[in-house]
């Protein structure tokens, strides 16, 4: 027996990213995740195809913002698709991923095996949150890249005329597209943290997913009520549509900064709530 004990290395404090790698691999191997990426890619594709098939010229300002410019410059497909996707579809997918984090493992019964492995509760939460952030990045990049590809296939692409009237080169435009994707990803991490917290409250993943989506919708509704304007700056969704500031020259960074600070505050608050809940949670699933 003693030889057996000696064969087990003493507990080390080394940092291991194996669980994170596993989490991301499992996330992106799921058919559900692939289906959501396909659905996200369909947003710019449908939009571009609709514009390409339609002979009707939109007056400037008609339809979603930027839509009137799509036929002149394919690069606008991505921006328009992002505006279409941010209010509902992207938060819906974030709700699915973030709501599933803990509740999904609990409902499936794998949570008890992860914790007895032992994964460690703090570490598991961090890995799950990192997975949700990876999803937000993958979702926005998929949307942007598909927009770029379909836009360049169906329309001509070239230097972009910004909201400020300046014209930027194609290369600079691609950088701006990346920045918009990043802006929207950052916009979604607060919601990811909310979803993570909700996910620690239940063993029913669908409930956590739905609740997370409801949070984003309620937040957007509150944001439209002028009588509640005092709370608007603190709403999770307050800066969601302000990524257009990336399309000014020079770039208007203040909304990016305010958004990042707001999202980090949500991450801090709901991350702490999630840990407080999860650290002492009885795992009976």
Partner 1 sequence: MTELAIATRDLTRRFGSQTAVDRVSLAVPRGSVFGFLGPNGSGKTTTIRMLLGLIEPTAGESSVLGESMPDSWRSVLPRVGALVEGPAFYPFLSGTANLRRLDAADRDSDRRTRLARVSDALARVGLSHAENKPVKAYSLGMKQRLGLANAMLRPRDLLVLDEPTNGLDPQGTREVRSLIRSFAADGTTVFVSSHLLAEVEQLCTHAAVMSAGAIVAQGTLDELRGPDATTVVVLTPDRALAHDVLLKAGLTPDPATPVDGVRAHLDRSRGGADDLVAALVAAGVRVRGFSLEEPSLEDRFVALTGEGFDVVA
Coil vs helix vs strand at 168: strand
Q: Which of 35, 112, 156, 225 lies at the binding interface for partner 1 (CB under 8 A)?
A: 112
Q: Determine, following the binding rule CB under 8 A, whether residue 167 of this chain makes contact with partner 1.
A: no
Residue 50 CA, distance from chain mean position: 26
Q: Determine, following the binding rule CB under 8 A, whether residue 117 of this chain makes contact with partner 1.
A: yes
Dist CA 156 CA 170 (whole Å): 12
Long-range contacts of 160-168 (CB under 8 A, 24+ apart): 160/73, 160/75, 160/76, 160/247, 161/69, 161/73, 162/247, 162/248, 162/249, 163/244, 163/247, 163/248, 164/248, 164/249, 166/249, 168/249
Q: Which of 55, 116, 227, 229 lies at the binding interface for partner 1 (CB under 8 A)?
A: 116
Q: Determine, following the binding rule CB under 8 A, whether residue 35 of this chain makes contact with partner 1.
A: no
Q: Could you tell me which stretch among 62-70, 79-87, 104-112, 136-144 binds partner 1 (CB under 8 A)? A: 104-112
Q: Determine, following the binding rule CB under 8 A, whether residue 124 of this chain makes contact with partner 1.
A: yes
Q: Which of 35, 50, 62, 109 lies at the binding interface for partner 1 (CB under 8 A)?
A: 109
Whether residue 144 contacts residue 40, with contact meaning beta carbons closer than 8 Å, is answered with: no
Q: Residue 32 or residue 170: which is nearer to partner 1 going by CB?
A: 32
Min separation Cβ 69 and partner 1, Å: 42
Q: Determine, following the binding rule CB under 8 A, whether residue 28 of this chain makes contact with partner 1.
A: no
Coil vs helix vs strand at 160: strand
Whether residue 181 contacts residue 142, with contact meaning beta carbons closer than 8 Å, is answered with: no
- Other residues' Cβ atoms within 10 Å of the Cβ of residue 161: 15
Q: Which of 58, 119, 149, 206 lies at the binding interface for partner 1 (CB under 8 A)?
A: 119
- Give the footprint of partner 1 on this chain (CB under 8 A): 1, 4-5, 7-9, 11-12, 14, 16, 18-19, 21-22, 26, 29-31, 108-110, 112-120, 123-124, 280, 282-284
């Amino acid at each position: 027996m003693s030889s057996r004990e000696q064969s087990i290395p003493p507990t080390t404090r080394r940092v291991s990213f194996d669980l994170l790698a596993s989490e991301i691999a499992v996330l992106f191997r799921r058919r559900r995740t692939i289906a959501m990426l396909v659905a996200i890619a369909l947003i710019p594709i449908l939009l571009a195809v609709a514009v390409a098939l339609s002979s009707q010229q939109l007056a400037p300002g008609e339809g979603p913002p930027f839509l009137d410019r799509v036929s002149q410059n394919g690069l606008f497909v991505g921006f328009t698709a992002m505006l279409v996707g941010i209010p509902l579809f992207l938060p819906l997918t974030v709700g699915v991923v973030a709501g599933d984090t803990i509740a999904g493992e609990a409902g499936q019964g794998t949570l008890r095996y992860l914790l007895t492995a032992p994964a460690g509760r703090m570490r598991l939460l961090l890995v799950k949150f990192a997975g949700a952030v990876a999803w937000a990045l993958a979702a926005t990049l998929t949307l942007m890249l598909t927009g770029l590809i379909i836009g360049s296939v169906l329309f001509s692409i070239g230097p972009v005329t910004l909201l400020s009237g300046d014209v930027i080169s194609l290369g600079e435009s691609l950088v701006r597209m990346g920045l918009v994707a990043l802006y929207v990803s950052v916009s979604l991490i607060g919601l990811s943290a909310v979803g993570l917290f909700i996910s620690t409250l239940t063993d029913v993943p669908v409930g956590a997913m739905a609740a997370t989506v409801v949070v984003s919708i309620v937040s957007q509704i509150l944001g439209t009520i002028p009588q509640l304007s005092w709370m608007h700056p603190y709403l999770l969704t307050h800066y969601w549509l302000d990524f257009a500031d990336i399309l000014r020259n020079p770039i208007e960074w203040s909304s990016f900064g305010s958004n990042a600070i707001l999202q980090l505050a949500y991450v801090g608050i709901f991350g702490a709530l999630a840990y407080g809940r999860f650290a002492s949670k009885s795992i009976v699933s």
